[in-house]
Amino acid sequence: MDLQSLKNRFSIIGNTPLLNHALNTAEQVAATDLTVLIVGESGVGKEVFSQIIHSLSSRKHNPFIAVNCGAIPEGTIDSELFGHEKGSFTGAVDSRKGYFETVNGGTIFLDEIGEMPLGTQARLLRVLETGEFIRVGSSKVQKTDVRVIAATNRELIEFTQKGRFREDLYYRLNTVPIRVPSLRDRKEDIPLLFRKFVVDFAEKYKTKPIYLDEEARGLLTEYGWPGNVRELKNIAEQISVLSKNDHINAVQLNEFLPKHTAHNMPMLTGNAPVGEFANEREILYKLFFDMKKDVNELKKMFLEILQNPSLSGQAAHFTKEALINELKEDISPSITPVSNVTMPAAAMQLPHHQPVIIDNDLQNHYEIEESLNIMDKEKELILKALKKHRGRRKDASTDLGISERTLYRKIKEYDIEE
């Protein structure tokens, strides 16, 4: 099948080299039984590539199933994939076949493979290497002939370095990698995709298709599209339904484009690697501790001023108690003690003007360095939540604002003893 026929069959719009390369790879690997790993940002259409591979393979008349690994609770994912025996766990009132059993002879698409628990990863590795699996609660080994296509929007190699993904499974899945480009990497395709969507929506809602002027097309192309094709389709539908005119200029288009997106947010800098912050909560923690660090730096500067005799020209003395209270609040440690130093009023700008000399009593005050590592703070919060709720993970995860599955993964990651 030539490339254009393939695009027409699966309604793929675009002609950029990166997209064409991904499609060619999918077509070539379809005739084999090799495991494929599809990599790309959320919304680029990774599932379409899995359907292409299945449809062009010798398994095309057999079952195809797509499974979102991130949407299945950790406690039930083994049962979903491999099945279970009656009575193997609470609620298992009957035996049940898993996907690897029901899709025998076909293709299974494991989306968001990076969210799969480590225990399930070990079971999947055995299926890939030997074609064998065991139902939950059973000791009987069963055989299956299923082709696995996996997809992720994460860099799994980084997950392997952090111990969140098995390295042997990564290389087993990555037999043939296919990287689906983002819209930012195929800007010339954006107007074509948008036009296709608005024509489809005009037909659906019995309206006239909208048109963009040249300036609006430029704005559409330069927008970051963090949600990729999915976001572009949503914007096209919004404009088709809500716009009062069928000709749209840049000002009108700008009203529909999100003003604050992750793509336009300032980048967090520092020692944290890419992908360090899994959610908004962790980003807020990082910002909070960075602010705290800045306050500590200011207080260090204050101590240096106190320790510098050259600043003691026009001395105005302040109450010892007030100064100590100011320093004790979240202050970072000062290795050198403060002693018998007076402080200029111009340097301090404090509201009190009653002179009292700061004496050797401050020698016992030292800086107490605290860890600003986000992982240390996250572990500390998890420990506090578990202690507060007496080890009840469900209540602790609700208090922390994360899923119970994520909490379980964090407990394993930080080796927390419950």
- Domain 3-181: state its class: alpha beta
Distance between the two ends of the chain, CA-based, in angstroms?
A: 57
Rounded CA gap, 342 and 318, in Å? 9
According to CATH, what is the number of the domain 184-262? 1.10.8.60
CB 230 within 8 A of CB 42: yes
Structural domain boundaries of the chain? Answer: 3-181, 184-262, 280-364, 374-413
Domain spanning 374-413, CATH class = mainly alpha
| pTM for the predicted model, two decimal places | 0.61
pLDDT digit of tens for each residue in the chain (418 aa)? 789 999 999 999 999 999 999 999 999 999 999 999 999 999 999 999 999 999 999 999 999 999 999 999 988 999 999 999 998 888 888 999 999 999 999 999 999 999 999 999 999 999 999 999 999 999 999 999 999 999 999 999 999 999 999 999 999 999 999 999 999 999 999 999 999 999 999 999 999 999 999 999 999 999 999 999 999 999 999 999 998 888 999 999 999 998 754 444 444 444 444 344 444 555 565 566 667 667 777 777 667 666 665 554 444 444 445 445 555 554 444 444 444 444 444 444 444 444 444 444 444 444 444 555 677 778 888 888 888 888 888 888 888 878 887 888 888 787 887 6
Under 8 Å between Cβ of 132 and 143: yes
Asked if residue 198 lies in contact with residue 248, where contact means CB atoms within 8 angstroms, the answer is no
